[in-house]
């Protein structure tokens, strides 16, 4: 549909929307209890500039009760949130991690949020590769919780998934995790209960696993970990969450305050010529980021579970929720470099894309020269032959037919009529990735009671938790995922597999040339992506979308890796 036609249809829809609202009020549709208002829910949802709230949606509220952390608690009596502190641990060490209420002030507004040990992000856990640590988790928040060790190939019982590997940890209770780290790199931890609330409110932290090899990475002057998140705020209030299930179920909650390490203005000072290695994690619920460091040259070195086969120069790095990238950046000239998120926003009125650039922070480069000067090492793009050799064992499986196929889609019921009408024309075209929430009103008013995001097994037609996949330990599983662009609201999905590692071997039939071990892969709208799973770790492992609201709307299943020698099923899927 061209822009003018779209604009005309939209204008017509806006004119008829009040009539639609009247019609829907009279029709008493099931599940449409939008009339339950209170003072918190009648607040306006922040809209993009120039975009009025759809008239047919005015006065409505999500059909879930509003929830914010710390109801009845005086925020003034809570401890102020601290910045992340380094927790350097050795094999056999023990760490206490307490999820607790904190007082957090951002841009002059004070909120009740959560933090691990009072910190946002939680402690930066630094361990040597192959260490095993004990983590005593204490739940002092007002929801059940758990800790999932994202990307870590640990024992299944320590994976932190309620109803799959452990019971949820009730408020006031504790759980002990033994966490073993077999792979070097950057990992993270977060609850696996209501991520849309708990992770968004501050319960996330990094784990850095150090390799014993001294030249595992190139030499740099400085290392920094960056956790990216966002917060949805109206004036001095957080927009409430849904108590019974997520609101913002269509696109996920995209915040209007962008944060690096929990702060709205990240700042770093370096010397001229310094090379900085950034370990970057996307801890936001739904936002995909496109990050760059001004004009400073950058090379991408590693991602979720390994280094790349070879380093590459890149203008920017894209991170879907839960993905990690390790990049090295050289700041060669004195001055100020802006760290920016540069994306394409959609203007639904005009049916056009427009650039949107947010500054997340700055790197100030002093006149003092770098010492040592690593310019030569930075100019070298390394080949990580150890990574290529490890992957060589798996290359014979790249061309086999898929063992498993999933289609990603969505079903909706009882959404406001204006939303349904809008989506009918909105999906006349689609974006491979939705970088911003261009329709926050419709998104807010869709809850997990009305939206069901779906992983569908192409072989059986089964969906989500009804899929009962078993593969033997040691098998190499080729999983083909297709993201259906013709669904009610197509959207990209970052698909995460627990406890294993996988390669993205092809996108839309085109082989990926520079491989890296991943635990999360972005599947853009309309795309077909081939994953090769190294199913080496026995247990029941979640496979799900990492958009918190999609997960909370059903988009998950379990991959059972049956222990070798005992009761393995589905051997046909194996090598």
Residues in contact with Cu ion by the rule CB under 5 A: 493, 545, 547, 550
* Closest CB 572 distance from Cu ion, rounded Å: 29
* Closest CB 294 distance from Cu ion, rounded Å: 31
Structure-block tokens of residue 575:
């090598």
* Closest CB 504 distance from Cu ion, rounded Å: 17
Structure-block tokens of residue 81:
């949130």
Between the CA atoms of 125, 126, 130 and 136, what dihedral angle is there, to the nearest 10 degrees?
-30
100 beta partners: 115, 140
3-state helix, strand, coil in the chain (%, to 5): 15, 40, 45
* Closest CB 70 distance from Cu ion, rounded Å: 29
Nearer to Cu ion, 501 or 550 (CB): 550
* Closest CB 105 distance from Cu ion, rounded Å: 32
CA–CA distance, 30 with 413 (Å, rounded to integer)? 9
At 24, which helix (H) or strand (E)?
A: helix 3-27
* Closest CB 493 distance from Cu ion, rounded Å: 3
Nearer to Cu ion, 311 or 434 (CB): 434
Nearer to Cu ion, 307 or 550 (CB): 550
Least Cα distance to 482 among 402, 572, 399 occurs for 402
3-state secondary structure of 31: coil
3-state SS, one letter per residue, for 148-172? EEECCCCCHHHCCCECCCECCECCC
* Closest CB 276 distance from Cu ion, rounded Å: 32
CA–CA distance, 478 with 494 (Å, rounded to integer)? 17
* Closest CB 51 distance from Cu ion, rounded Å: 23
Nearer to Cu ion, 403 or 549 (CB): 549
The b-or-e profile of 522-555 (16+ CB within 10 A means b, else e) is bbbbbbbbbbbbbbbbbbbbbbbbbbbbbbbbbb
Nearer to Cu ion, 548 or 561 (CB): 548
Nearer to Cu ion, 58 or 480 (CB): 480
3-state secondary structure of 3: helix
User: Which string of DSSP letters, residue by residue, matches 360-421?
Assistant: EEEEEEEEEEPSS--HHHHH---B-HHHHHHHHTTGGGTTSPPSEEEEEEEEE-S--HHHHH
Is 479 within 8 Å of 406 (Cβ atoms)?
yes
Pairing mode of beta strands 556-562, 468-472:
parallel
Nearer to Cu ion, 227 or 251 (CB): 251
Nearer to Cu ion, 475 or 520 (CB): 520
* Alpha carbon distances (Å) from 271 to 274, 320, 340, 345: 5, 31, 20, 35
Nearer to Cu ion, 185 or 552 (CB): 552
The secondary structure of residue 80, as a DSSP letter, is B
* Closest CB 527 distance from Cu ion, rounded Å: 13
CA–CA distance, 190 with 321 (Å, rounded to integer)? 13
Nearer to Cu ion, 120 or 547 (CB): 547
CA–CA distance, 204 with 200 (Å, rounded to integer)? 8
Least Cα distance to 62 among 87, 40, 94, 88 occurs for 40
Least Cα distance to 224 among 81, 311, 124, 314 occurs for 124
CA–CA distance, 358 with 338 (Å, rounded to integer)? 9
* Closest CB 286 distance from Cu ion, rounded Å: 8
Structure-block tokens of residue 528:
């077909």
CA–CA distance, 416 with 20 (Å, rounded to integer)? 9
Pairing mode of beta strands 274-282, 307-314:
unpaired
* Closest CB 523 distance from Cu ion, rounded Å: 9
Nearer to Cu ion, 165 or 483 (CB): 483
* Closest CB 285 distance from Cu ion, rounded Å: 10
Nearer to Cu ion, 478 or 544 (CB): 544
Nearer to Cu ion, 103 or 550 (CB): 550
* Closest CB 106 distance from Cu ion, rounded Å: 27
CA–CA distance, 469 with 558 (Å, rounded to integer)? 7
Is 68 within 8 Å of 238 (Cβ atoms)?
yes
């Amino acid at each position: 549909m061209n822009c003018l036609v779209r604009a005309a249809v939209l204008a017509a829809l806006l004119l008829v929307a009040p009539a639609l609202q009247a019609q829907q009020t009279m029709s008493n549709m099931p599940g449409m209890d939008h009339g339950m208002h209170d003072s918190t829910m009648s607040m306006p949802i922040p809209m993009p500039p120039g975009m009025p709230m759809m008239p047919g949606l005015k006065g409505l509220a999500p059909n879930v009760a509003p929830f914010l952390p710390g109801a009845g608690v005086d925020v003034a009596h809570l401890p102020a949130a601290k910045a992340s502190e380094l927790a350097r641990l050795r094999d056999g060490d023990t760490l206490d991690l307490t999820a607790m209420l904190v007082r957090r002030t951002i841009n002059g507004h004070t909120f009740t949020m959560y933090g691990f040990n009072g910190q946002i992000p939680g402690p930066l856990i630094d361990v040597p590769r192959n260490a095993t640590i004990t983590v005593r988790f204490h739940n002092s928040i007002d929801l059940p919780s758990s800790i999932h060790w994202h990307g870590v190939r640990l024992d299944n019982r320590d994976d932190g998934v309620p109803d799959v590997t452990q019971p949820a940890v009730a408020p006031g209770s504790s759980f002990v995790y033994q966490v073993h780290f077999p792979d070097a790199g950057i990992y993270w931890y977060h609850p696996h209960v209501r991520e849309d609330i708990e992770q968004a409110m501050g319960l996330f932290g990094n784990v850095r696993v150090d390799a014993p090899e001294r030249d595992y990475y190139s030499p740099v002057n400085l290392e920094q970990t960056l956790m990216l998140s966002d917060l949805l705020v109206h004036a001095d209030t957080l927009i409430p969450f849904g108590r019974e299930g997520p609101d913002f179920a269509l696109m996920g909650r995209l915040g209007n305050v962008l944060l690096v390490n929990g702060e709205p203005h990240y700042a770093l000072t370096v010397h001229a010529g310094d090379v900085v290695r950034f370990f970057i994690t996307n801890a936001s619920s739904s936002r995909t980021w496109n990050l760059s460091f001004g004009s400073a040259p950058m090379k991408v070195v590693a991602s979720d579970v390994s280094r790349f086969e070879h380093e590459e120069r890149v203008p920017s790095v894209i991170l879907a929720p839960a993905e990690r990238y390790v990049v090295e950046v050289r700041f060669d000239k004195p001055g100020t470099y802006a760290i920016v998120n540069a994306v394409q926003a959609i203007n639904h009125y005009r049916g056009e894309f427009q650039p949107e650039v947010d500054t997340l922070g700055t790197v100030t480069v002093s006149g003092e020269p770098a010492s040592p000067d690593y310019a030569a090492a930075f100019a070298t793009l390394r080949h990580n032959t150890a990574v290529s050799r490890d992957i060589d064992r798996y290359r014979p499986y790249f061309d086999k037919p898929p063992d498993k196929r999933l289609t990603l889609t969505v079903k909706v019921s009882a959404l406001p009529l204006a939303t349904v009408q809008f989506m009918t024309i909105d999906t006349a075209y689609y974006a491979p990735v939705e970088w911003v929430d261009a329709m926050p009103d419709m998104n807010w008013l869709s809850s997990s009671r009305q939206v069901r995001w779906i992983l569908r097994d192409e072989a059986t037609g089964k969906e989500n938790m009804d899929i009962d996949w078993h593969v033997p330990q040691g098998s190499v599983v080729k999983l083909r995922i297709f993201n259906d662009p013709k669904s009610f609201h197509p959207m990209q999905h970052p698909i995460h597999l627990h406890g294993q590692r996988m390669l993205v071997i092809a996108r839309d039939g085109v082989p990926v040339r520079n491989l890296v071990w991943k635990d999360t892969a972005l599947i853009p709208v309309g795309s077909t992506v081939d994953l090769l799973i190294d199913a080496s770790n026995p247990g029941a492992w979640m496979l799900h979308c990492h958009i918190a609201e999609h997960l909370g709307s059903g988009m998950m299943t379990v991959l059972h890796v049956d222990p070798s020698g005992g009761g393995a099923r589905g051997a046909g899927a194996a090598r």
